[in-house]
Amino acid sequence: MNDFVSSFWSYWIATLALGGVVFCLILLFSQRVWLKREIDQVEDTGHVWDGDLTELNNPIPRWWTIMFILLCVVALGMFVLYPALGFGPGVTGYSSAREVRANQIELQERIAPIYARYAEMSFEDVAKDAEAREIGQRLFLNNCAQCHGSDARGAASFPNLADNDWIWGGEPEQIIHTITEGRHGMMPPWGSQLSPSEASDTAQYVRSLSGLAHDPMRIVAGKRHFDAFCVACHGADGTGNTALGAPNLTDNIWLHGSSEASIVQTILNGRENIMPPQKNLMTEDQIRLLAAWVWGLSNNDGNVVAAAN
Ligand code: HEC
Ligand code: HEC
């Protein structure tokens, strides 16, 4: 069973588990009086308080000893039945991971009929359907809002999903792919190729692409660096490449920030940004519906409904 740990840790777990039981039994037997019906003579400890309050050293009661031995027997039984020793699954073959999987499958079967209706509808119709939007919003609030915000408008380094500006593409299949498989945005660092002042010139040029305030003298050198190091991913005109997740640098929509300091930091140190895959957390039906909801945020012709409303 690959669910189970092997070698050293198996022995470690077995030693702790069996050792605990053996230790309890040794402790009981070491008291020797463990099953005697009558106790001949009770020792006293020699401690006396208030003149006549004597501390006795009575043995452990018989019922208590028997109960403890029974518990040890139960424990040994559990070791045989369940995967308690770190070796193999035990006689019952129980596995909590399998139980979770079974519960997941049961849940998926229960919700499948709710989604069946949407499987037959086009993506655009799902995005407009009132009930589907309610479900989508709830899925979003439960699974996505912690990063993208309850209004889906994102925050620094977490993209706005309601602005119809897409790092990885806004076509239905692209959004479904983003949610299913996740995305890994990687801007490599250029600190070894560009000095801080060269990076700063480049940042001036990048700002000029969006029409932000910039120094017209410095963007000449900046464009030279951009053409040498940046066009491979961001394109000659800076409009980006959704296949690489390289953002459009000309639209004045910023993932990490538009200040010169922030752009210089991006250039010198690079950026790494992860959208976690959801395929093990949601069914395909749920992902399609959620993708339609996200798509609808910026495509439902003026009918945009922010998630928090
Ligand atoms: C742990 C944080 C986190 C969670 C949770 C998360 N995302 Fe993301 N998501 C990100 C980050 C970060 C990016 C940007 C990745 C990049 O920079 O390339 C992203 C990108 C995206 C994109 C691509 C945006 C674009 O412009 O192309 C979509 C769509 C998206 N997320 C939808 C979702 C949905 C739907 C959920 C809920 C199932 C979700 N995300 C959950 C962090 C998260
Ligand atoms: C290998 C591809 C690649 C190259 C080359 C590259 N970038 Fe990037 N760049 C990316 C990716 C991918 C991201 C998005 C990172 C993320 O998801 O966080 C990015 C992000 C950025 C951002 C952040 C945009 C925002 O909205 O906050 C800036 C600015 C930027 N790049 C500028 C540059 C400059 C200037 C150069 C040349 C010195 C350059 N890039 C070279 C791939 C690249």
User: CATH no. for residue 268?
Assistant: 1.10.760.10
| Ligand 2 midpoint to CA 238 (Å) | 10
Same domain, 164 and 191: no
In angstroms, what is the span from residue 88 Cα to ligand 1's centroid?
Answer: 40
Compute, in angstroms, the gap from residue 189 CA to the centroid of ligand 1.
22
Ligand 1 contacts CB of residue 152 (under 6 A): no
Is 175 near ligand 1, meaning CB less than 6 Å away? yes
pLDDT of residue 175: 98
Q: What are the E-state strand segments in the chain?
A: 44-49, 53-56, 183-187, 271-275
From the CB of 203, is ligand 2 less than 6 Å away?
Answer: no
- Indicate whether 308 belongs to any domain: no
Co-location of 138 and 264 in the same domain? no
Q: Which ligand is nearest to the CA of 210?
A: 2
Q: What is the mean pLDDT of each run of 10 residues along the chain (309 residues)?
A: 65 91 88 62 83 82 86 93 83 87 89 90 94 96 96 95 95 97 97 97 98 96 97 97 97 96 97 96 94 94 47
Same domain, 208 and 267: yes
Does 240 lie in the same domain as 175?
A: no
Q: Which ligand 1 atom is nearest residue 146's CA?
A: 5
User: Can you state the angle between helices 218-229 and 196-209, rounded to 10 degrees?
Assistant: 90
pLDDT of residue 32: 64
Are the C-beta atoms of residues 86 and 11 closer than 8 Å to each other? Answer: yes
Rounded to whole angstroms, the Cα distance separating 256 from 279 reads 27
| Same domain as 286, residue 270 | no
pLDDT at position 108: 86
Q: Which ligand is nearest to the CA of 175?
A: 1
* Residue having the nearest C-alpha atom to atom 23 of ligand 2: 256
Q: What are phi and psi of 104, to 5 degrees?
A: -60, -45
Whether 264 and 196 map to the same domain: the answer is: yes
Q: Which residues contact 291 (CB under 8 A, 6 or more apart)?
A: 123, 172, 175, 176, 179
199 in a domain, yes or no?
yes
Strand-strand pairing, 271-275 and 183-187: antiparallel
Of the listed ligands, the closest to the CA of 158 is 1
Q: Is residue 278 in contact with ligand 1, taking CB distance under 6 Å?
A: yes
Ligand 2 touching residue 240 (CB < 6 A) = no
pLDDT at 34: 57
| 18: in domain | yes
Instruction: Check: CB of residue 250 under 8 Å from CB of residue 209.
Output: yes
Are 173 and 281 found together in one domain?
yes
For residues 254 and 248, is the Cβ–Cβ distance under 8 A?
no
Q: Which atom of ligand 1 is nearest to the CA of 184?
A: 18
CB of 256 shorter than 6 A to ligand 1: no
Does the CB atom of residue 275 touch ligand 1 within 6 A?
A: yes
Atom of ligand 1 nearest to the CA of 245: 18
What are the structure tokens assigned to 246, written together? 């390289």
Q: Are residues 202 and 266 in the same domain?
A: yes
Nearest residue (CA) to ligand 1, atom 20: 275
Ligand 2: distance of its center to the CA of 136 in Å? 31
Residue 153 and residue 13 in one domain: no
pLDDT of residue 6: 66
Q: What is the 159 CA–ligand 1 centroid distance (Å)?
A: 7
Q: Which ligand is nearest to the CA of 275?
A: 1
Which atom of ligand 2 is nearest the CA belonging to 244? 12
115 and 150 in a common domain: yes
Task: Quote the number of domains for the chain.
Answer: 3
Domain of residue 209 covers: 185-275
The residue nearest atom 8 of ligand 2, judged by CA position, is: 187
- In angstroms, rounded to a whole number, what is the distance separating the alpha carbons of residues 203 and 213? 11
Closest-lying ligand to the alpha carbon of 256? 2
Q: Is 90 left (phi over 0), alpha (psi -120 to 50) or beta?
A: left
Q: Are residues 212 and 266 in the same domain?
A: yes
